[in-house]
Amino acid sequence: MTDAELREILTATRTIALLGFSANPDRPAHAVAAFLQARGYRVIPVNPGLAGQVALGETVHADLAAIPKEIVIDMVDVFRAPEAVPGVVDQMLAHRPEARVLWLQLGVIHPEAAARARAAGKLVVMDRCPKIEIARLGM
């Protein structure tokens, strides 16, 4: 993925479903969500263990299917183990077809699932962090 492509994704994105959100502010899955929210993105936290709670001013949802359809998701940002990614892609394609970007965080690498998402027309960023990329690109 080129810098121009990353910049376009980060500029066009407005609403992010952040899978694997953590309520612990010391965890990257919380810090990145808070950073993105502070940068103007709407971040929808997703974590089945926290579902129904409010975090960063948003209701936490159990999975992508539980997010109300009136919330249009642009990007699915994944803080989950690599073996969870095929299921995330299944959910994304079945329940959030409007999401155009699958973003897999640092260390989250699953080439087969990424290829399936790309084949379905999704943009895929793998093994990167949007917080780091925003800073690196000077956005």
For residue 74, the 8-state DSSP code is -
Give the three-state DSSP class for 137: coil
* CA 117 – CA 95 distance, rounded (Å): 13
pLDDT digits (tens, 9 = 90+) for 85-114: 999 999 999 999 999 999 999 999 999 999
Q: What is the mean pLDDT of the chain?
A: 97
List the alpha helices (DSSP H) in the chain: 3-12, 28-38, 85-95, 111-119, 130-136
Q: Which of 38, 8, 12 is nearest to 131 (CA)?
A: 38
Do the beta carbons of residue 103 and residue 32 sit within 8 Å? no
* CA 89 – CA 106 distance, rounded (Å): 17
Q: Is the pLDDT of residue 1 over 90?
A: no
Q: Is the pLDDT of residue 72 over 90?
A: yes
Q: Is the pLDDT of residue 124 over 90?
A: yes
Q: Is the pLDDT of residue 63 over 90?
A: yes
Can you list the domains of the chain with their CATH numbers?
A: 1-72+88-104 (3.40.50.720)
11 burial via Cβ count (<10 Å: 0-12, 13-18, 19+): exposed
Average pLDDT over residues 4-20: 97
Q: What is the pTM of this model?
A: 0.95
